[in-house]
Amino acid sequence: MRPMRKLLPFLFLLLTGTAFADDGGFLFVTFRGEQSPMTEQIYFALSKDGRNWTALNDGKPVLVSDVGEKGVRDPFLLRSADGKAFCIIATDLSINLTHSWKRSVEAGSKSIVIWKSTDLVHWTGPKLVKVAADDAGCTWAPEAIYDPATGKYLVFWASTTKRDNFKKQRIWGAWTQDFETFSPPFIYIEKPNTIIDTDIVRGEDGKFYRFTKDEKYKAITMEASDTLTGPWHDVPNFSLAKLLGYEGPECYQVEPPAPGKPGTWCLILDQFSKGTGYQPFVTHDLASGQFTPGDGFSFPFVVRHGSILKLSKAEYQQLEAAYGKPGA
């Protein structure tokens, strides 16, 4: 892990889908599975085009948790509105050390793990912050998005609760302005059956698009809304609705639109049923929900549930200098 330095106080505001004038590439943050204590930590990979990825730090973890369960999964990386600050939030969970999915669902952590940075190289943390309800059995796959209507972040995750004997997972939420203090948790998404792994992006049309894993069919759903608080409606004829055995949806814009040319969006899905990691699906019209398998993508290892951030050229170069050129 790189040495930490004191960070100035800052207010987090999320830039979703922002295209930098200084177009430098992409950063992937992820974990590698539960094979060892070190594979349940934070790994970085870089890409110039959002399609071909190479590992940083010689393929070793960049950030390691020594708090809570001493393992982190499902990391999510976000940027401040002025582009000068970053935050990683992640699941506080180590299956390798605890060896029990049942325990992790019914007696797991009520907290998320947080790191902060001003340059993607020097990080403060990890810090353990309780966000879930007092009777929560777990706090899985946290993500966050800025809400322009309230000027706050909506942080959301999956939890079971003792009140219904841990019968199903729901998506819970909490509001924050600084990732230090959080509002009381509330149920953000409830369905008749278990749902986990929600990802939300803001499209070029200003609408929000929400992808969630529905455990009833082991498939991904897609919804749309004008606001984060809804109402939400299913996107008609979502082309991946019957694709089974996937989880951990993450959507990002590979190419912004240009005169006479639509933008390109990629939805990556973790094919957990076959242990093959993320598989890419692309569209040139996010609102349509029509995705096709993506060609020309490559990953340095079996990439699990993580997230992707657009970079400036300077940020890309800083990461190369700190952690070694990709593939070196």
In a domain, 1, yes or no: no
Residue 39, SS3 per DSSP: coil
pLDDT-based confidence at residue 83 (cuts at 50, 70, 90): confident
In a domain, 4, yes or no: no
Per-residue pLDDT at 211 exceeds 60: yes
Q: Which of 125, 30, 148, 139 is nearest to 92 (CA)?
A: 139
In a domain, 272, yes or no: yes
End-to-end CA distance of the chain: 18
Per-residue pLDDT at 8 exceeds 60: no
d(CA 150, CA 11) in angstroms, rounded, equals: 14
Tell me the average pLDDT across 277-287: 96
Contacts for 284 with CB less than 8 Å, ≥ 6 apart: 262, 263, 264, 265
d(CA 195, CA 286) in angstroms, rounded, equals: 22
Tell me the residue ranges of DSSP E strands in 150-194: 152-159, 170-176, 186-189
Q: Is the peptide bond before 126 cis (omega within 30 degrees of 0)?
A: yes
Phi, psi of 313 (to 5 degrees): -60, -40
pLDDT-based confidence at residue 192 (cuts at 50, 70, 90): very high
pLDDT-based confidence at residue 291 (cuts at 50, 70, 90): very high
pLDDT at 48: 96
Per-residue pLDDT at 299 exceeds 80: yes
pLDDT at 4: 37
Q: What would you measure as the largest C-alpha separation in the chain, in angstroms?
A: 55
pLDDT at 142: 98
pLDDT at 22: 60
- Encode pLDDT of 138-162 as tens digits: 999 999 999 999 999 999 999 999 9
CB 309 within 8 A of CB 295: no
Residue 102, SS3 per DSSP: helix
Contacts for 33 with CB less than 8 Å, ≥ 6 apart: 39, 40, 302, 304
In a domain, 10, yes or no: no
Per-residue pLDDT at 196 exceeds 60: yes
d(CA 323, CA 245) in angstroms, rounded, equals: 34
pLDDT-based confidence at residue 309 (cuts at 50, 70, 90): very high
In a domain, 313, yes or no: yes
What token pair was written down for 25? 């590439």
In a domain, 14, yes or no: no
pLDDT at 320: 94
User: Which CB contacts under 8 angstroms, 24+ apart, belong to 278-284?
Assistant: 278/248, 278/250, 278/303, 278/304, 279/246, 280/51, 281/240, 282/254
pLDDT-based confidence at residue 310 (cuts at 50, 70, 90): very high
Per-residue pLDDT at 11 exceeds 60: no
pLDDT at 30: 96
Per-residue pLDDT at 273 exceeds 70: yes
d(CA 236, CA 219) in angstroms, rounded, equals: 15
What token pair was written down for 198? 């929600």
- Encode pLDDT of 213-259 as tens digits: 999 888 999 999 999 999 999 999 999 999 999 999 999 999 999 89
When the pLDDT of each residue in the chain is averaged and rounded to a whole number, the result is: 91
CB burial of residue 295 (10 Å; 0-12, 13-18, 19+) = exposed
pLDDT at 14: 35
In a domain, 19, yes or no: no
Q: How many domains does the chain have?
A: 1
In a domain, 3, yes or no: no
pLDDT-based confidence at residue 295 (cuts at 50, 70, 90): very high
pTM confidence score: 0.92
The single-letter DSSP state of residue 325 is S
The CA distances from residue 78 to 143, 234, 317, in Å, are 9, 26, 19
pLDDT at 23: 79
d(CA 167, CA 246) in angstroms, rounded, equals: 21
More confident residue, 185 or 82: 185
127: domain CATH number?
A: 2.120.10.10
- Encode pLDDT of 91-139 as tens digits: 999 999 999 999 999 999 999 999 999 999 999 999 999 999 999 999 9
- Encode pLDDT of 25-76 as tens digits: 999 999 999 999 999 999 999 999 999 999 999 999 999 999 999 999 999 9
Residue 146 structural domain: 25-323
∠ at Cα 40 (122, 137), nearest 5°?
110
